[in-house]
Structure 1
Amino acid sequence: MANIQINESKLGKISRFNWIWSEYSVIIAFVLIYIVSALMNDRFLLLQNQLNILMQVSTIGIIALGMTLVILSGGIDLSVGSVLAMVGVFVVMALNASESIFVAVLTALAVGAFVGFLNGLLVAKAKIAPFIATLGMMAGARSIALYTTNGGSIAGQVDGFTNISNTKVGLVSLPVIIFLTLTLCVYLLMKKTRFGRYVYAVGSNEKASLLSAIRVDRIKIGVYSLCGFLVGIAALIETSRLNSISSSSSGNLYELDAIAAVIIGGTRMTGGKGKVIGTLFGVLILGVLNNTMNLMNISPHLQGLVKGLIIIIAVIFQKRN
């Protein structure tokens, strides 16, 4: 009898440990990576360096929030980087033509949301696989950006446009505040609203969702539209930072970083399971790793290898849970 109680106690401790690891593994991983980074380089803990990390991850972080919604619904969006470049081109064109920052902001939000809406239509109504639909949009958006600018860059000609990315509230840059505010908004959307519950349901079991009278098509169109909207905000920040956008290089491989952040954050590629807070820490992990490698003068050509290894490790741990 005593042996049975001891075994039950051990099983209880193991199950409790598994639950803690399942719920908080990304936070534990972030703390460990942060401590190791601090020990490896004295400059890492400098306040300005910490603020730089937050600033550097803000654009990818905003895109990753949208990618989280899409992946939770069982889809994927490979077009986010190219769409960012295309939206940036249209933003600068609208800015120069109207000489109005307000018009530029509206252009970013409208074009981003519209492209996301088109992605949603292709996936939900045309029944095209998300990988194929967004791959096509990726090629199309980049092509439009290149054609519009003749393969070059386009610069803004209105004073004050750069204030969007270069304004600080105290010590914190405005893009960081926007990123954290959007993180809170998306968190509340997924945690407190019917839409959020339906996104999880569709990602977990689409057929069961249909039988439960959930408008699956509307949910899919909604998540892609929101993703596009968030890409529009990211494009606005990216464009205003340097007051220009490159049609060929801007947004290049951003989809990889966004997907990496989402997966590292614990969201399953098959959909239905994941957390917005996990994505936040996934973005921070990538930011800390990139910053540490830069401080240690590691070749930027090897940084992609590190990201790839982290994605593989994250997926392996997901399968174990």
Structure 2
Amino acid sequence: MSKALTSLPLISRIRFRDAGTLVGLILIAIVFSFLSPSFLTLPNLVNILQQSSINACIALGMTLVIISGGIDLSVGPVAALSATLGAAMMVAGVPVPLAVLGAIATGVACGFFNGALIAWGGLQPFIVTLGGLSLYRALALIYTGGTPIFGLPGEFRAIANGTLLGLPGPVIAVGVLAFVAWVILTKTPLGEYLMAVGGNPEAARVAGVPVTLTKLSAYMISGGLASIASLILIGRLGAAEPTLGNLWELDAIAASAIGGASLMGGRGSIVGTLIGCVILGALRNGLTLLNVQAFYQLLATGIIIIVAMLIDRATSGK
């Protein structure tokens, strides 16, 4: 079976994985619909999409990083630092659009720092972003003194909690971001560069691919999307905590892996990642409806990552 899959072109293998992931989501929905009558109700399905939107935003950037052959363990602390700085600007009277841009710029700057150490410094992505995980979290805690920032403007919260065509604003926003990420990956030179660098960076360099700028771009996009995810969250909560984003990297990696992104680099799918996010959201929602304790949900996430890696190894033939 694995030999047959590896003989398919890359695009065909990605579509095959997307279809398989979608089947997995359908099976989860069927199981929980029997276990809980409220699972397939429209309000609950919308709730699943809203709960999945933050992870989806993070996972889009993580997928691009993984495709490039890297990993970003710092997305949670980057989100916390961006959220606290953005919230502080809003509370201080800075216009909401400028504060939002400032928060996103913070995430992009953190991504630039990570990418520079990896692309120019030649350091391992795991080590750099692991260090960033502690660094950015510490900066958020130092800046706030470990206390939440309250009093966010009503106009900002209205945007984050608004609806359009019956869908929550965050779901619409992440849908637009996902479309942009899909276009980048499938319709632009950057997408081809990400695949090439993740597949074989030395061969890509010989072929004239700007390896350094490609890696840098992936981490900057990841940082920017982490900031947007944090803005969605604080808009819903009405406060920015320096401790937010805990274990966001785990969820993002899980969604990317479920969606077919290879942690070896060179392969991934935006559509698959979105389905992976909904799978995680549906799984947690269903377990919550069944009154299953939260730490069992974390156990389920870990198992899903391991299973996804085994499937990836089987289908890649490595």
Alignment TM-score, normalising by the size of structure 2 = 0.93
Alignment of 1:282-321 (within 5 A): 282-321=276-315
Structure having the higher Rg: 1
**2:197 corresponds to which letter in structure 1?**
V
1:164·1:241 contact (CA, 8 Å) conserved in 2? no
1:126-174: CA deviations, max 9, x gaps?
1110001011111011001111111121113423121121011131110
- Structure 2: segments with no counterpart, 5+ residues: none
1:90·1:108 contact (CA, 8 Å) conserved in 2? yes
Alignment of 1:150-161 (within 5 A): 150-161=145-156
> Secondary structure, in 3 states, of the residue corresponding to 1:155?
coil
Q: How far did 1:21 drift?
A: 4.8
* Aligned match of 1:270: 264
**1:79 corresponds to which letter in structure 2?**
S
2:29·2:40 contact (CA, 8 Å) conserved in 1? no
Alignment equivalent of 2:41, drawn from 32, 43, 46: 46
2:190·2:214 contact (CA, 8 Å) conserved in 1? yes
- Given the alignment of the two structures, is residue 261 of structure 1 paired with residue 270 of structure 2, yes or no? no
Alignment of 1:113-124 (within 5 A): 113-124=108-119
CA separation in 2, counterparts of 1:22 and 1:320?
Answer: 12
1:99·1:158 contact (CA, 8 Å) conserved in 2? no
* Aligned match of 2:163: 168
Alignment TM-score, normalising by the size of structure 1 = 0.92
Alignment of 1:112-151 (within 5 A): 112-151=107-146
Number of equivalences = 308
Alignment equivalent of 1:222, drawn from 211, 217, 223: 217
**2:60 corresponds to which letter in structure 1?**
L
* Aligned match of 1:280: 274
CA separation in 1, counterparts of 2:104 and 2:242?
Answer: 18
CA separation in 2, counterparts of 1:22 and 1:214?
Answer: 27
1:164·1:237 contact (CA, 8 Å) conserved in 2? no
**1:261 corresponds to which letter in structure 2?**
A
CA-atom RMSD in angstroms:
1.8
Query: Identity over the aligned pairs, expressed in percent?
Result: 39
Q: How far did 1:113 drift?
A: 0.8
2:17·2:259 contact (CA, 8 Å) conserved in 1? no
2:104·2:228 contact (CA, 8 Å) conserved in 1? yes
- Decide whether aligned partners of structure 1 residues 285 and 150 sit closer, same or farther in structure 2, where only a CA change above 3 A counts: same
CA separation in 2, counterparts of 1:272 and 1:74?
Answer: 7
CA separation in 2, counterparts of 1:104 and 1:174?
Answer: 19
CA separation in 2, counterparts of 1:197 and 1:296?
Answer: 44
CA separation in 2, counterparts of 1:192 and 1:226?
Answer: 17
CA separation in 2, counterparts of 1:301 and 1:157?
Answer: 31
- Decide whether aligned partners of structure 1 residues 219 and 107 sit closer, same or farther in structure 2, where only a CA change above 3 A counts: same
CA separation in 1, counterparts of 2:69 and 2:197?
Answer: 7
CA separation in 2, counterparts of 1:167 and 1:241?
Answer: 10
